[in-house]
Amino acid sequence: MGVPALIVAAGSGQRLGAGGPKALVRVAGRPLYAWSVEAFRKASQIDRIYVAVPPGHIGSFTEPGIVTVEGGETRSHSVANGLEAIRAEGSPGMVVVHDAARPMVSPALIDAAVIGLEGDEELHALIAAAPMTDTVKRLGDDGVVIETLDRSALVSVQTPQVFRVEVLERAIADGDLAAATDDAALIEAAGGSVGVIESPSGNIKVTVPSDLDLAALLLERNR
């Protein structure tokens, strides 16, 4: 049996200036979210694909073979809604959560993350992350640098993120969903154990208009 995947595509697209849901913006000839759906279709460890969409836009997400779920007020609320839909169709031990804004995700990374968590019973989650390459400094309230951090101990967190379903459900039920920037943070806050799998440098996130141009270039090259 494969693992269900939940692609979070409920973002408003405000910073992108899209004038509508970010996931529906066209890049390299397709809606942004469709690239992630394709990667998850090709991943050997995935059996069902759910997409959490902006409220009122379910009819706009028409990729074949997906189950659409209405998203919530925050990202974590959208994940909670997705988990409820997944539970309604079965009781999986794990789930993969991915941001539709990362269209360059590869089937190989998805599969490696699932296999990695499956093989380590001590972990509650396994998340994709990239080593920090820039110098990182911590600022005080006045905007003045306090210290330069050791980047060898820092990573830039991405998706996909794989979770043990019951642990994620408890973390969402008890967590501060408005403050969480990713679901792994909720696991950490609940005292859970989160591991890291290194992500390739091309797994970019589309946030501002220039990201669209880069994503289009990379997707066309890979095509």
Q: What's the pTM value of the predicted model, to 2 decimals?
A: 0.94
Q: Is the pLDDT of residue 19 over 90?
A: no
Give me the phi and psi of 86, to 5 degrees please: -65, -45
d(CA 121, CA 134): 33
Helical spans, DSSP H, in the chain: 32-42, 75-88, 107-118, 165-174, 183-189, 209-222
Sequence letter at residue 130: A
What is the span of the domain harbouring residue 106?
3-222
Number of domains in the chain: 1
pLDDT above 90: percentage of residues in the chain: 85
CB atoms near residue 223 (< 10 Å): 7
The rounded percent of the chain whose pLDDT value lies above 70 is 98
In this prediction, residues 146-165 reach a mean pLDDT of 96
Q: Residue 159 is inside which H or E element, if any?
A: strand 155-164
pLDDT of the residue at 90: 87
Mean of the per-residue pLDDT values for the chain? Answer: 94
Whichever domain contains 78, its CATH number is: 3.90.550.10
Q: Which of 154, 160, 151 is nearest to 184 (CA)?
A: 160
